[in-house]
Structure 1
């Protein structure tokens, strides 16, 4: 009997927990830039609206843009938020939100070659983005300042 009560209570609590919405990631919105020597990376995110956020990034050296990416944060078919990237404007790749709090978010897709994990942390006017394999190996990190 205790099992059924506990299982029932767990289902009620899970059903009562609000789903994570794009509004919960509003701290990511803004224009962010990282510059080291003549290398630069810029990333911009719109404030949440209509259940999603739109973003883009571009990386370059000197006066030449080398890479760009269209980005989106939106709910997938199952209602879970996902980070959807389109590198160089190509096919989209989705990374499910697996953890978040008021200043960080982690998205994962273990089936993708690289990256498999995308992690953002904000501290005031500093935003750190780290990509890696699912186990945290082969990390690449960018530290952005708010523009």
Structure 2
């Protein structure tokens, strides 16, 4: 049992970006807005300071709040950037950074029910956020424009 746990930890560490820092995600900073199908969604991210970025997400339709979430990206105890989500202000759910390239980042937590994967891709003044299961199924995406 201990060997399986060690192998899983090694596999997770091996797939993570070698020297990624929270500061490397500065491209996510800003105010991002989407208006699709009558649902207005905004996501805001602070610039990285002290190894942390703070974020919020709010979705509204016809002046009724559908969803809100408190977010942060922080360094975990292993020194890896980790996305922390608190839907509706609830208990934190942790998604370690698994992949990062110029203007894109993927965070995963295979033990969470949904989502298990969170991906951000920035293309100029547009930001696409996608949540899904580990295999990419049940994907939901939002395309935001920078405000």
Report the Cα distance in structure 2 between the residues aligned to 1:137 and 1:66, rounded to whole angstroms: 23
CA distance in 2, matches of 1:131, 1:38: 20
Q: Tell me which residue corresponds to 2:94.
A: 94
- CA apart distance, 1:19: 2.2
CA contact (8 A) 1:25 1:102 kept: no
Deviation, structure 1 residue 131:
0.3
Where in structure 2 are the equivalents of 1:109-124 lying within 5 Å?
109-124=109-124
Q: Normalising by structure 1, what TM-score? A: 0.86
3-state DSSP class of the match of 1:129? strand
Deviation (angstroms), 1:29: 0.2
Q: Which residue of 1 aligns with 2:32?
A: 32
4+ long deviations beyond 2 Å: none
Structure 1 unmatched runs, 5+: 1-13
RMSD: 1.4
CA–CA separation in structure 2 for the residues paired with 1:37 and 1:107: 27
Is the partner of 2:32 in helix, strand or coil? strand
> Looking at CA atoms only, which structure, 1 or 2, has the larger radius of gyration?
1
How many equivalent pairs are there? 132
User: Alpha-carbon deviations, 1:2-53, whole Å to 9, x = none?
Assistant: xxxxxxxxxxxx9xx9621111000000000100242111000000000010
Secondary structure in 1 aligned to 2:25? Answer: helix
